[in-house]
Amino acid sequence: MKRIVAAIILIIIAAPVLVFAEQASVVTKENAVREYCRFFAPVVAPVRYKDVLDIVCPQDDWYKVRYKATEGCIHRTAVEKRSASFTGSTLPGRGAGSVSESEAALAGKGFNPQVEASYRKKYPAMKYNLVDRIEHENVSEKEIVSFITGGGLNQP
Amino acid sequence: MMKRIMASAFLMFFMLHPASHALDLRGITKHLDTLKSVVGATAKATRPISDEEEYFLGRAVAARVLGTYPLANDKDLTKYINLIGKTVSVSSGKPFTYGGYHFAVLETEEINAFACPGGIIFVTKGLIEMTANEEELAAVLAHEIAHINKRDGIAAIKSSRWTEALAVIGTEAARKYSLSDVAKLVTIFEDSIDDIFKTLIVNGYSRSQEFTADESALQYLAQSGYDPEALISFLKRLSGKGRPSGGGITATHPETADRIDNIAGKIPAGQADPRSVEIRTARFMEVQKPVR
């Protein structure tokens, strides 16, 4: 009887260490939670850098995730697992109180917008205007899908 | 009595921990690893760079490249190489980078292509004119995407830069830097850009980096539905051009014959559908008309 009571107490004490909510934060400027786990699948929720998603389960190269009120898929290279988040102490959303190891070491550090701004100020002749133009000249997902299917290529 | 104790224990357990979260024992190991790594952050930071930092470096490298070569103002061609490049990139090992993949054409007869860290890839008009079809152009872009996947540009930065950077940024979480910190970081940023730029334009990557990029390109091509043999046909045509005394792809890459030898036995199985290749070649010729 004593052993059982001791075991139960141990479970209660140890439980906070054992229970983790698997979460991931977005590591790209912009991305999307998609209806199903395929590239170019319909978007159910747009996400941005550092948004935090609850991982439901992995599925091949994707994670099934929960974000705000929606569920869907995001590619695993678009997120980074947050491995030190405790259940009950964090909620999905920006600025949740948990960090992953590389986030702790790297996020926003070193070469960041502040450094770029100073560099540009120092070298005003650098062709950043053209770089911005290149980044803004985008093709839509619809066009990519049409290009893939029209050319008999594989849609991943 | 026993049942009551058990029921109370389970009740307490579920009150403490919402049922929506799964019990994940694997998390314990990861948690311990995290604690260990935070403690050892200083040692780890000898080569620290996030995707976000890589993006800012890449933008600066791209700005430098655009100071050397003019940007082509051909919207149709730019859109076309973006469609090919983005098609290949989703079949690569890293379909997403912080700022995404962007492809642009440089207005020069020089035969070359450059991958800036983070995802901006340049191809010259000279190179595009040299390719025979969409498959070969895809092969060139796949090779450049592989350099980004492997972070070869970042590897070109001298390791001493990381030590210098670490002295400024320390190991704490992100913060706004003081003016003197920013000035130091800008100098390190500048030096890092120089390292990458020299590698891209003058010295080239190592033989093993180039061979690996070729091997990865074969996989990306096959996965996206392009004919991987196109990389060999492109390299054969390139070897016919010889080694120019100035810049260009042959000046910054290993001997083309060696590159062909390296991948000759590594072509993934399967064959591209000839009818689809025909369709792709037709659209290539259509976009190419103004270039040729």
Domain ranges in chain A are 21-81+100-149
Q: What pLDDT score was predicted for residue B157?
A: 86
Mark A100-125 as b/e (b = at least 16 C-beta within 10 Å). Answer: bbbbbbbbbbbbbebbbebbbeebee
pLDDT digits (tens, 9 = 90+) for A33-91: 999 999 999 999 999 999 999 999 999 999 999 999 999 999 999 999 876 544 433 33
Chain A interface mutation, best of B14, B171, B189, B223, highest count of A Cβ atoms under 10 Å:
B189
Q: What pLDDT score was predicted for residue B252?
A: 65
Chain B interface mutation, best of A65, A122, A131, highest count of B Cβ atoms under 10 Å:
A131
Q: What pLDDT score was predicted for residue A20?
A: 53
Instruction: Give dist(CA A57, CA B116) in Å, integer.
Output: 34
Q: What pLDDT score was predicted for residue B291?
A: 57
Smallest Cβ distance to B87: which of A15, A22, A148? A148
DSSP B109-148: SS--EEE-TTSEEEEEHHHHHH--SHHHHHHHHHHHHHHH
Task: Classify B227 as helix, strand or coil.
Answer: coil
Mean pLDDT of A26-33: 96
Task: Classify A55 as helix, strand or coil.
Answer: strand
CA A77 to each of CA A66, A111, B215: distance values in angstroms, whole numbers, following the listed order: 17, 21, 21
- B residues 200-259 lying closer than 8 A (beta carbon) to A: 223-226
Q: Which two tokens stand for residue B76?
A: 């149709």
- Name the fold adopted by A21-81+100-149: SH3 type barrels. (2.30.30)
Helical axes B207-224 vs B229-239, angle rounded to 10°? 130
Decide which of B155 and A41 is more confident: A41
pLDDT digits (tens, 9 = 90+) for A82-117: 765 444 333 333 333 333 445 444 555 688 898 899
The confidence band for B125, taking pLDDT boundaries of 50, 70 and 90, is: very high
- Which of A15-19, B26-30, B47-51 has the highest average model confidence (pLDDT)? B47-51
Q: Which residue matches tokens 């839509």?
A: A140
The pTM score is 0.80
Mean pLDDT of B145-169: 85
Percent of chain B with pLDDT over 90: 55
A100 touches chain B (CB under 8 A): yes
A14 touches chain B (CB under 8 A): no
Q: Which residues of B touch A49 (CB under 8 A)?
A: 52, 98
Q: Which two tokens stand for residue B12?
A: 């307490």
Task: Classify B102 as helix, strand or coil.
Answer: strand
Q: Across all residues in chain B, what is the average pLDDT?
A: 82
Task: Classify B23 as helix, strand or coil.
Answer: strand
Answer yes or no: is pLDDT of A17 > 90.
no
- If you measure CA to CA, which chain B residue comes closest to A104? B173
pLDDT digits (tens, 9 = 90+) for B171-211: 555 567 778 888 888 898 899 999 999 998 888 888 999 99
Smallest Cβ distance to B38: which of A11, A104, A147? A104
Instruction: Give dist(CA A144, CA B85) in Å, integer.
Output: 10
- Which of B16-25, B70-79, B152-161 has the highest average model confidence (pLDDT)? B70-79
